[in-house]
Copies of this chain bind each other. A is one copy, B any other.
Amino acid sequence: MALKYYHAEPLANSLKSMIPLFEKGLEFESVYVNLHKFEQHESWFLAINPEGQVPVLDHDGAIVTHTTVINEYLEDAFPDRPPLRPNTPAGNARMRYWNKFVDEHVMNFVSMHGWHRLIGIIARKIESGEFEKLLERIPLHEQREKWRTARSGFSEADLANATRKIEVAVDKVEAQLGETAWLAGDMFTLADVNFYSHCGMMVERMFPEMEIASRCPRLVDWRERLTARPAVQEALNMPDHTEPGLRTWSGHAR
């Protein structure tokens, strides 16, 4: 049995499937894909994932992409390991409701601010002719447009809408944590891993104007409980090749 995990820095998507790997104590070969050098668009990587995106799980040659899919795959493939899915019909539904919410209403909006602060600077450092060549290699239309927009700058209206979505999300999570210890109930699940990786881990650091500590005390407590988990520590300690001055998106879990 051989697991190989292709990933970038420990945040967002790459963190999201790394936490379950460590939580389950699964041995895996870590293959770092350097997004700062656009390795995800190189032909060797496109041969593995034609969509040109990290992370990718390779399980004995079976390729699984998209973190929400990878994470349920790990639950299905390793039922004897500590579960991160309730495995009751109602519990799974609650977990999937939150996964869907994070995937569709949170991820892209924190990501836009992350791209604005990190990828925009990287993209503007590239010479014009060179940049067009890089764009040509990107297989997904949406990713090409995101790179193009990152270089020219996201609009104030789009950034403000993204901020509004994130405010809705942190208030929704805060309300849920008044009802249950974790997002999908009394059990720590993939829903917590999802919101943590895409928003909860860095929302206070990235958006000081939201005053998360006073606005969402339960979210802060939840984040601390999550960050303290040994498996999460292991995942967060994976290498971060982002230049220290650009670590506005990656960086400490706060």
Contacts and interface: CB of A to CB of B under 8 A. Distances in A.
A109 to B, nearest CB: 12
Given A72-B92, A89-B73, A100 B66 contact: yes
Q: How many copies does the complex hold?
A: 2
A104 interface: yes
Interface in A67-125: 68-70, 72-73, 76-77, 88-90, 92-93, 96-97, 100, 103-104
Interface residues of A, number: 24
Nearest to A70: B93
Most chain B beta-carbon neighbours within 10 Å: one of A92, A93, A96, A100? A93
Nearest to A68: B100
A163 interface: no
A225 interface: no
A134 interface: no
A26 interface: no
A2 interface: no
B69 A89 contact: no
A212 interface: no
A64 interface: yes
Contact of A66 (B73, B97, B164): B97
Given A65-B97, A72-B96, 10 more contacts: A64-B90, A66-B96, A66-B97, A68-B96, A69-B100, A73-B90, A73-B93, A76-B89, A76-B92, A77-B89
Q: Which 9 A-B pairs have the closest CB atoms?
A: A76-B89, A77-B89, A69-B96, A73-B93, A64-B93, A62-B90, A69-B93, A69-B97, A76-B92
Interface of A: 62, 64-66, 68-70, 72-73, 76-77, 88-90, 92-93, 96-97, 100, 103-104, 141, 164, 168
23 contacts: A65-B97, A66-B97, A66-B100, A68-B96, A68-B100, A69-B93, A69-B96, A69-B97, A69-B100, A70-B93, A72-B92, A72-B93, A72-B96, A73-B89, A73-B90, A73-B93, A76-B88, A76-B89, A76-B92, A76-B93, A103-B104, A104-B104, A141-B168
